């Protein structure tokens, strides 16, 4: 950073111990949050739990906003404000949530911010209050009680000087802590913490390790090793501080990393989190939760109702930004000046940033750098160049590659570099049906000026001309907020700005949304629409299971190279008895490779079962006919089952080919020992277990009602679970059949 730049380069809020901290503009959101905090601090606190009026309950504040809007800055400003107003008497703790579970939040963030001395001091405070309370009832010891309450003397010194029985006070402490924490284990542990011989064992347990035998003997048997226990532990510390009328403020930032996939907590964890919100109110403590809107949406309604105040960071206005520039320059140089900005460039910068705090600060920093280097004032061109340099984090070719991967993974048919009939080029074209409908995908770099936006809008209008056509715009870099509405108007959804973290998921969801709308609005017949969706689903399923089938082939090759005497264990082998299906086995020339009759019979049953799923044409005909049909066009469960059935048929055929190759290449001795056969069986079983078998059963049931004559020759009509039964046990029955066929 060039010396003398008054603006921060990173524009990212950090926990700072500087007395003044970063500059804060008093936006409406800041004022709302601090007013709530002032109300909490100003409330009458009352005396301790031994007596006196209770203070006003604490509460929960949620700071919610998108990236760069100032959530963390606002949360940290709450802590700085509390330090300025409440002084050192208020305990404050800031945690940035890990991308993990509540247990990780406790073990990796919360407990590491504590120390033995902190916990010991809290326990000693409780102990002193108990001793003082017992002495207050006698005129002889009333003065000692007063001095102890005022912390003029030490509790242990009072006990020693008056010859009191310490064990009685320790027992009272333990009982009191059990009531305060509402947990026997924590009450016992915290009482033991005062004794030197148990201090390390209790501290180890509080950090999440299994309890020491010395603690187990005293009733502490469970470790703090899951989300519910971790949240309860945080609540206990809130009680420990708050019940002594000592304000306790906990800030948890980026909470969406815990309350969203892939770490979405279980129902019992959400229930424990809801209880934590209640605990902070009961303990007269203050909890500040900060994060993306996702975390608030992940909470059930009754949990959201326990949040006393929801604050959404305000966008910076031109006046706010002027104040930021003046304050920054006064702090850096002792002079309140707008130079090198002007009123015109100030307004342009705010408009370009859309009032987003992080964007405003970054553009201020980099345009100030450019102006100093050039020896001139800040120009609009400098601001635009700063935006391009700082927000175009990847190349347009890299974005195209990401789009290609998403299209491939989703099973979409697409054309790269598509040119429309009137010569307009799109980066990609995803067709919908055969009538020229589809979605054009445009990829562009930063859009900062009205002419740039007009050119894009015209391209989008021409590509969208015609029935059933849509446009999806991807911006690699910076999109000026004031230009976004004009582009949204000519596309099917707001432009998608590339993000290193979320782009693939966001693009996939956006494309699916556009294609679903096009499909819903298309006037082609329903039969053709369903066929297109089945084709796409089949491609997607085939690509998804391609790696599994490759693994099956590799197992087949390894079975010939790496002998393995192990036999898989199949407990129900002798309990399966299948009737004759009436369908000839696929052996002989029809199958291309011969197998012993016992083995061929097992594959015959399996392929016959799979064949009952291959009535897609009849189902589509019935669904598109004039008569009512149980098959609903667009039923995702049916489509998924059709795709799974197609993959399963390939897996059975591949399994049969592997077994046939094994018989043709392995010598008599290897065949008698079934060397390598176990690996082939396991490979098939892995593929089978990866498929949604329950949907196959659902498909068989639908087929029975649509075209019962197609499956009348199989046991499926009487037993819908027949498919799952015969295909699920295929590996063990083939193994046994091979064993029978290779006996001398």
Name the token pair of 141.
């010891």
The string of pLDDT tens digits covering residues 197-237 is 999 999 999 999 999 999 999 889 999 998 988 998 998 88
Does 682 lie in the same domain as 555?
yes
pLDDT, mean of residues 181-210: 87
Alpha carbon distance 164, 157 (integer Å): 10
Query: In the structure encoding, which two tokens stand for residue 519, read together?
Result: 């499909």
- Please tell me whether the peptide bond between 340 and the residue prior to it is cis, using omega within 30 degrees of 0: yes
pLDDT at 709: 53
Sheet holding 286-291, edge to edge: 91-96, 248-253, 286-291, 60-64, 309-311
CA dist., res. 281 & res. 503, Å (int) = 39
Same domain, 100 and 120: no
Lowest model confidence (mean pLDDT) among 5-9, 78-82, 309-313, 683-687:
683-687
Q: Is residue 539 part of a domain?
A: yes
Within this chain, do residues 324 and 372 fall inside the same structural domain, yes or no?
A: yes
- What average pLDDT score do residues 93-104 get? 89
Together in a domain, 513 and 402: yes
Q: Which residues contact 250 (CB under 8 A, 6 or more apart)?
A: 93, 95, 234, 238, 280, 285, 286, 287, 288
The domain that holds 496 is classified in CATH as 3.40.91.80
Instruction: Classify residue 16: in a domain, yes or no.
Output: no
Joined tokens for residue 77: 């400003």
Q: What is the DSSP secondary structure assignment for residue 17, as one 8-state letter? A: -
Average pLDDT over residues 86-102: 81
Mean pLDDT of the 419-443 span? 87
**pLDDT given for residue 272 in this prediction:** 85
My answer on whether 645 and 540 are in the same domain is yes
Lowest mean pLDDT of 1-10, 127-136, 293-302, 401-410, name the range.
1-10
**Could you tell me the two tokens for 449?**
């000026």
Say yes or no: 151 and 193 in one domain.
yes
Question: Considering only CA atoms, which of 415, 422, 342 is closest in space to residue 383?
Answer: 342
Q: Does residue 707 share a domain with residue 572?
A: yes
The Cα–Cα gap between 542 and 294 comes to 33
CB atoms within 10 A of CB 151: 11
**Nearest-CA neighbor of 326 among 23, 80, 31?**
23
- Residue 233 forms part of a structural domain: no
* Distance separating alpha carbons of residues 250 and 290, to the nearest angstrom: 11
End-to-end distance of the chain based on CA atoms, in angstroms?
84
Q: Is residue 620 part of a domain?
A: yes
Cβ atoms of 366 and 402 within 8 Å: the answer is: no
d(CA 371, CA 383): 10
Q: What are phi and psi of 47, to 5 degrees?
A: -90, -175
CA–CA gap between residue 308 and residue 310 (Å, rounded): 7
Q: By C-alpha distance, which of 260, 259, 288, 390 is closest to 71? A: 288
pLDDT of residue 355: 86
Contact assessment for residue 253 and residue 75, using Cβ atoms and an 8 Å cutoff: yes
The residues near 503 (Cβ < 8 Å, ≥ 6 apart) are 399, 402, 496
Residue 599 lies in a domain: yes
Please tell me whether residues 736 and 597 are part of one structural domain. yes
Q: Are 275 and 228 spatial neighbours (Cβ–Cβ below 8 Å)?
A: no
Q: Domain boundary residue among 521, 553, 581?
A: 521
Q: Which domain holds residue 105?
A: 28-66+74-114+244-311
Q: Looking at 38-47, 50-59, 71-80, 227-236, which range is the least confident one?
A: 50-59
406 and 508 Cβ atoms separated by less than 8 Å: yes
| Domain co-membership, 542 together with 690 | yes
Report the C-alpha gap between 586 and 608 in whole angstroms.
9
- If one counts the domains in the chain, the total is 5
Whether residue 18 lies inside any domain: the answer is no
Residue 584's pLDDT is 39
425 pairs with which residues across the strands? Answer: 419
* Domain end residue (candidates: 391, 409, 426): 391
Phi first, then psi: what are they for 703, rounded to 5°? -65, -35
Q: Which residues pair with 310 in a beta bridge?
A: 62
Write down the pLDDT at residue 346: 94
**Backbone angles phi and psi of 250, in degrees to 5:** -120, 125
> Does one domain contain both 609 and 736?
yes
**Residue 225, Cβ neighbours under 10 Å: how many?**
13
Please indicate, yes or no, whether residues 561 and 691 belong to a single structural domain of this protein.
Answer: yes
pLDDT exceeds cutoff 80 at 399: yes
| Burial letters 270-286, b for 16+ CB under 10 A, else e | bbbbbebbebbbebbbb
Contact in structure between 93 and 251 (CB atoms under 8 Å): yes
According to the model, what pLDDT value does residue 590 have?
Answer: 36
Angle between helices 380-391 and 343-353 (to 10 degrees): 30
Same domain, 33 and 93: yes
In this predicted structure, what is the pLDDT of residue 538?
52
Tell me whether residue 447 is in a domain: yes
- Tell me if 231 is assigned to some domain: no
Rg (Cα) of the chain, in Å, rounded? 35
| Angle (CA) 31 34 35, round 5° | 80
Mark which of 501, 521, 541 sits at the end of a domain.
521
CA separation for the pair 94, 426 (Å, rounded): 48
């Amino acid at each position: 950073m060039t010396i003398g730049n008054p603006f921060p380069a990173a524009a990212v809020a950090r926990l700072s111990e500087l007395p003044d901290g970063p500059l804060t503009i008093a936006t409406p959101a800041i004022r709302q949050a601090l007013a709530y905090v002032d109300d909490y601090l100003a409330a009458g606190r009352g005396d301790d739990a031994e007596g006196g009026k209770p203070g006003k309950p604490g509460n929960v504040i949620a700071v919610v906003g998108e990236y760069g809007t100032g959530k963390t800055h606002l949360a940290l400003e709450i802590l700085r404000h509390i330090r300025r107003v409440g002084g050192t008497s208020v305990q404050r703790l800031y945690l940035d949530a890990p991308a993990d579970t509540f247990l990780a939040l406790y073990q990796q963030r919360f407990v590491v911010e504590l120390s033995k001395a902190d916990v010991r001091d809290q326990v000693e405070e409780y102990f002193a209050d108990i001793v003082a309370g017992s002495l207050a009832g006698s005129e002889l010891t009333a003065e000692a009680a007063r001095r102890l309450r005022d912390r003029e003397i030490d509790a242990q010194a009072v006990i020693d000087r008056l010859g009191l029985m310490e064990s009685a006070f320790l027992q009272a402490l333990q009982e009191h802590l059990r009531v305060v924490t509402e947990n026997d284990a924590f009450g016992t542990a915290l009482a033991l913490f005062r004794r030197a011989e148990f201090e390390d064992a209790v501290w180890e347990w509080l950090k999440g390790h299994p309890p020491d035998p010395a603690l187990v003997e005293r009733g502490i048997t469970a470790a703090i090793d899951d989300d519910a226990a971790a949240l309860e532990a945080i609540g206990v510390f809130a009680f420990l501080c708050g019940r002594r009328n000592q304000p306790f403020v906990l800030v948890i930032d980026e909470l969406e990393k815990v309350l969203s996939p892939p770490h979405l907590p279980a129902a019992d964890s959400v229930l424990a989190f809801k209880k934590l919100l209640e605990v902070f109110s009961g303990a007269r403590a203050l909890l500040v939760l900060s994060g993306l809107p996702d975390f608030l949406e992940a909470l059930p309604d009754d949990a959201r109702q326990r949040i006393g105040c929801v604050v959404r960071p305000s966008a910076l206005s031109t006046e706010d930004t002027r104040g930021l520039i003046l304050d920054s320059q006064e702090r850096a140089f002792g002079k309140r000046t707008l130079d090198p900005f002007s009123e015109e460039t100030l307004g342009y910068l705010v408009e370009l940033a859309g009032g987003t705090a992080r964007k405003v600060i970054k553009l201020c920093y980099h345009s100030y750098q450019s102006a100093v280097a050039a020896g001139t004032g800040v120009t609009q061109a400098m601001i635009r160049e700063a935006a391009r340099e700082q927000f175009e984090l990847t190349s347009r070719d890299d974005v195209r590659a990401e789009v290609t991967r998403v299209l491939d993974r989703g099973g979409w048919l697409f054309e790269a570099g598509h040119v429309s009939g009137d010569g307009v080029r799109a980066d990609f074209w995803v067709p919908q049906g055969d009538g020229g409908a589809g979605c054009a995908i445009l990829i562009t770099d930063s859009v900062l000026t009205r002419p740039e936006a007009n050119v894009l809008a015209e391209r989008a209008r021409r590509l969208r001309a015609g029935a059933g056509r849509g446009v999806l715009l991807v911006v690699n870099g910076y999109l000026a907020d004031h230009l976004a509405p004009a582009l949204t108007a000519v596309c099917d959804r707001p432009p998608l700005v590339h993000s290193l973290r979320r782009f693939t998921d966001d693009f996939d969801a956006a494309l699916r949304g556009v294609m679903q709308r096009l499909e819903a609005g298309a006037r082609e017949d329903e039969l053709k629409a369903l066929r297109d969706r089945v084709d796409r689903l089949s491609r997607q399923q085939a690509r998804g299971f391609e790696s599994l089938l490759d693994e099956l082939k590799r197992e087949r090759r390894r079975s010939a190279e790496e002998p393995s005497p192990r036999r898989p264990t199949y407990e129900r082998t002798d309990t399966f008895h299948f009737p004759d299906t009436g369908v000839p086995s696929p052996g002989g020339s029809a199958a291309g490779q011969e197998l012993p009759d016992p083995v061929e019979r097992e594959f015959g049953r399996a392929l016959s079962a799979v064949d009952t799923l291959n009535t897609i044409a009849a189902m589509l005909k019935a669904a598109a006919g004039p008569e009512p049909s149980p098959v609903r066009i667009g039923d995702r469960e049916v489509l998924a089952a059709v795709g799974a059935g197609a993959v399963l048929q390939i897996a059975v055929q591949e399994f049969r080919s592997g077994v046939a190759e094994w018989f043709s290449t392995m010598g008599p001795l290897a065949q008698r020992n079934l060397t390598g056969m176990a690996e082939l069986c396991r490979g098939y079983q892995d593929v089978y277990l990866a498929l949604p078998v329950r949907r196959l059963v659902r498909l068989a049931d639908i087929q029975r009602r649509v075209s019962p004559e197609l499956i009348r020759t199989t046991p499926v009509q009487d037993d819908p679970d027949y498919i799952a039964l015969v295909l699920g046990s295929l590996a063990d029955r083939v193994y046994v059949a091979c064993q029978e066929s290779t006996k001398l």
